[in-house]
């Protein structure tokens, strides 16, 4: 074998690193853990940083510089904010003003970098559209810039960190190494969860490996692989073929939306399980990003259970600042005067929610479908806020308890429908395609075509075995978690041979029913694109 061929093989191989490929969890992770353990307390942070930069470099190459420069910027600004804070020679008001200026400028700069990498073409092309309508000659050459991996996540983390230093909720980090590690820590790099600087002290502690944490980490990784490879990736060809196909009727649209909703949940929550498990190997406890979202009672509750860290970011850094701002209070007061208190009390949340959901939509990427997705939830949650009280009164009149079975079933079905419609538009190639799908449900609802073609959409009859079986397992586990059964503790209490048997069965289910190797395409992580 010649050296050139061998080098090409290795390069191509490393270029495919992702959380769900074996070289990540069976090679990179254990290798890093071994070196980490051997390095000693003082040097362990260096090992994690080297592994993170290596991981970043393998995915984004030279764009690693963007991450390092952002880390350096955040480190400098954080310390600057703190030095202004500590500078008692400046009057309090002037100090606050200066701090605010630094924060605003730095947040704008961080967002500017994000916009340049992610949204520039989107903006340019939309300006072309507008200028065309206005008859002004303007052209935009699509740049197609490569985007640094995880930029949407680490930019939000940077903003949160600087805001927390500004609000004096957290101290500025003196060590550049720690900031760089926080901004690039490889387990959370691709898909989050969006982590607060103060939330991961273990990351910098350099404590040695703990067998319980390593075991927990790998068990969580296995659960993530199960969701991703056995369910999400087995479903992926069907979702792609239904969304890319020429034919559409109401049944097909509903099936496509349901399939994508399942795929997305299994893909994202599975990846997050792998992320949390990977971090735990190094003793780092990352925040949970999901909490049985389909048990939510309404859309706003859903978003407190789905992509929790993104919702929490928007709550803390957009919703509260806008809600508490003087301008919003002024506007709310004016509306109250004109329209009365019953309308006025919705003004502040409506304004804040609007910016939260606009940001949520835009955060997912430069597409109108995502903007619509954000606005869709804005409207729904606003309606929910308005009708919740009358709805509870109606229940009272009907002598139905909120926790009674019919009410809960009604809420679950309503939520599933709301989520599916949202996902239908979210996944569609364009807004018009998404609306066409939605229209089909009301104008051309039939199920015969879908039923006849279940095996012609990229899944053979055997492909449904892991999907349906896997979903049943996930539903049982989620139900038990929702009612508070400590599953892992119960498992740990079993005799060793039974436990061994259980884990072997789990591992072989993933090995046999996972969608990888011959006959499958490698499915990228959905949320890695955002």
For position 31 contacting another protein by CB under 8 A, the verdict is no
CB of 234 to another protein, least distance (A): 11
CB of 229 to another protein, least distance (A): 10
- Specify whether the CB–CB gap between 203 and 185 falls below 8 A: yes
Phi, psi angles (nearest 5°) of residue 306: -115, 130
Q: Could you give the CA distance from residue 136 to residue 92 in angstroms, rounded to a whole number? A: 49
What Rg, from alpha-carbon coordinates, does the chain have?
Answer: 25
# binding residues, another protein (CB under 8 A)? 27
CB of 59 to another protein, least distance (A): 17
* Residue 43 or 453 with smaller CB distance to another protein: 453
* Non-local CB neighbours of 428 within 8 Å, separated by 6+ positions: 243, 369, 434, 437
For position 461 contacting another protein by CB under 8 A, the verdict is yes
Q: List the one residue from 2, 3, 12, 244 that touches another protein (CB under 8 A).
A: 12
* Residue 20 or 360 with smaller CB distance to another protein: 20
* Residue 88 or 461 with smaller CB distance to another protein: 461
CB of 462 to another protein, least distance (A): 4
For position 462 contacting another protein by CB under 8 A, the verdict is yes
Q: Could you give the CA distance from residue 483 to residue 471 in angstroms, rounded to a whole number? A: 18
- In the shown chain, the binding pattern of residues 141 to 170 toward another protein, with x for contact by CB under 8 A and - for none, equals ------------------------------
Nearest to 528 by CA among 5, 153, 33: 153
For position 23 contacting another protein by CB under 8 A, the verdict is yes
Does 181 sit behind a cis peptide bond, omega within 30 degrees of 0 on the bond before it? no
SS3 labels along 147-205 = CCCCHHHHHHHHHHHHHHHHCCCCCCCCCHHHHHHHHHCHHHHCCCCCCCHHHCCHHHH
Q: Could you give the CA distance from residue 519 to residue 162 in angstroms, rounded to a whole number? A: 47
Dump the DSSP string for 209-251: P-HHHHHHHHHHHHHHHIIIIIIIHHHHHHHHHHHHSS---HH
CA angle 286-418-306, nearest 5°?
Answer: 5
Could you give the 3-state DSSP secondary structure of residue 340? Answer: coil
Sign of the C-alpha dihedral, residues 66, 109, 183, 46? positive
* Residue 513 or 527 with smaller CB distance to another protein: 513
What is the DSSP code (8-state) at residue 304? T
Q: List the one residue from 13, 138, 167, 320 that touches another protein (CB under 8 A).
A: 13
Cα→Cα distances 177→60, 166, 384, Å: 20, 21, 46
Q: List the one residue from 3, 62, 134, 496 that touches another protein (CB under 8 A).
A: 496
- In the shown chain, the binding pattern of residues 207 to 226 toward another protein, with x for contact by CB under 8 A and - for none, equals ----x---------------
* Residue 401 or 488 with smaller CB distance to another protein: 488
For position 460 contacting another protein by CB under 8 A, the verdict is yes
For position 138 contacting another protein by CB under 8 A, the verdict is no
For position 22 contacting another protein by CB under 8 A, the verdict is yes
For position 6 contacting another protein by CB under 8 A, the verdict is yes
Other Cβ atoms closer than 10 A to 434 = 24
Interacting span for another protein (CB under 8 A) from 7-15, 193-201, 284-292, 304-312: 7-15
- Specify whether the CB–CB gap between 148 and 247 falls below 8 A: no
For position 493 contacting another protein by CB under 8 A, the verdict is no
Round to the nearest angstrom and report the end-to-end CA distance of the chain.
40
Q: Which helix (H) or strand (E) holds 32?
A: helix 29-39
* Residue 22 or 320 with smaller CB distance to another protein: 22
CB of 217 to another protein, least distance (A): 13
CB of 487 to another protein, least distance (A): 20
For position 3 contacting another protein by CB under 8 A, the verdict is no
CB of 500 to another protein, least distance (A): 6
Could you give the 3-state DSSP secondary structure of residue 269? Answer: helix
For position 452 contacting another protein by CB under 8 A, the verdict is no
- Binding to another protein (CB under 8 A) within 497-526 occurs at 500, 503-504, 507-508, 511-514, 516-519
CB of 525 to another protein, least distance (A): 19
* Residue 28 or 253 with smaller CB distance to another protein: 28
Chain contacts with another protein (rule: CB under 8 A): 6, 8-10, 12-13, 22-23, 211, 460-462, 465, 496, 500, 503-504, 507-508, 511-514, 516-519
């Amino acid at each position: 074998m010649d050296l050139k061929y061998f080098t090409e093989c290795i390069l191509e191989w490393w270029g495919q690193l992702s959380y769900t490929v074996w070289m990540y969890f069976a090679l990179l992770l254990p290798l890093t853990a071994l070196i980490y353990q051997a390095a000693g307390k003082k040097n362990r942070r260096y090992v994690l940083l080297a592994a993170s930069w290596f991981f970043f470099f393998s995915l984004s190459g030279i764009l690693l510089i963007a991450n390092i420069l952002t880390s350096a910027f955040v480190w400098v600004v954080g310390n600057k904010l703190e030095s202004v804070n500590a500078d008692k020679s400046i009057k309090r008001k002037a100090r606050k003003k200066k701090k605010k200026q630094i924060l605003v400028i730095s947040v704008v700069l961080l967002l500017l970098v994000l916009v340049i990498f992610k949204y520039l073409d989107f903006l340019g092309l939309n300006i072309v559209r507008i200028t065309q309508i206005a008859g002004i000659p303007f052209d935009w050459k699509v740049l197609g810039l490569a985007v640094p991996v995880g930029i949407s996540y680490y930019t939000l983390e940077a903003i949160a960190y600087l805001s927390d230093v500004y609000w004096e909720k957290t101290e500025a980090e003196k060590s550049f190494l720690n900031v760089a590690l926080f901004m690039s820590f490889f387990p959370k790099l691709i898909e989050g969860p969006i982590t607060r600087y103060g939330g991961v002290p273990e990351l910098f502690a350099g404590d040695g490996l703990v067998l319980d944490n390593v075991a927990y980490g790998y068990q969580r990784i296995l659960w993530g692989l199960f969701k991703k490879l056995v369910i999400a990736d087995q479903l992926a060809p069907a979702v792609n073929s239904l969304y890319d196909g020429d034919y559409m009727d109401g049944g097909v649209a509903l099936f496509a939306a349901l399939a994508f909703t399942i795929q997305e949940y299994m893909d994202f929550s599975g990846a997050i399980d792998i992320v949390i498990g990977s971090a735990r190997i190094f003793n780092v406890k990352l925040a949970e990003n999901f909490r049985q979202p389909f048990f939510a009672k309404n859309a706003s509750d859903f978003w407190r259970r789905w992509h929790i860290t993104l919702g929490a970011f928007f709550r803390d850094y957009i919703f509260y600042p806008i809600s508490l701002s003087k301008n919003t209070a002024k506007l709310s007061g004016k509306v109250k005067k004109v329209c009365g208190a019953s309308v006025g009390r919705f003004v502040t949340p409506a304004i804040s929610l609007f910016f939260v959901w606009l940001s949520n939509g835009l955060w997912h990427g430069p597409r109108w479908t995502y903007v619509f997705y954000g606005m869709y939830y804005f409207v729904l949650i606003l309606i929910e806020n308005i009708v919740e009280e009358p709805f509870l009164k109606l229940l009272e009149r009907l002598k139905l308890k909120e926790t009674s079975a019919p009410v809960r079933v009604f809420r679950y079905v309503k939520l599933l429908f709301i989520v599916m419609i949202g996902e239908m538009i979210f996944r569609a190639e364009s807004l018009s395609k998404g609306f066409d799908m939605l229209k089909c449900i009301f104008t051309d609802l039939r199920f015969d075509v879908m039923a006849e073609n279940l095996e012609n959409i990229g899944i053979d009859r055997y492909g449904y075995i892991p999907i349906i079986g896997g979903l049943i397992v996930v539903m049982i586990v989620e139900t038990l978690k929702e009612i508070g059964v400590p599953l892992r503790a119960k498992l740990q209490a079993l005799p060793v041979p039974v436990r061994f048997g259980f884990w072997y069965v789990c591992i072989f289910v993933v090995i046999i029913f996972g969608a990888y190797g011959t006959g499958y395409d490698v499915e990228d992580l959905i949320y890695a694109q955002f």
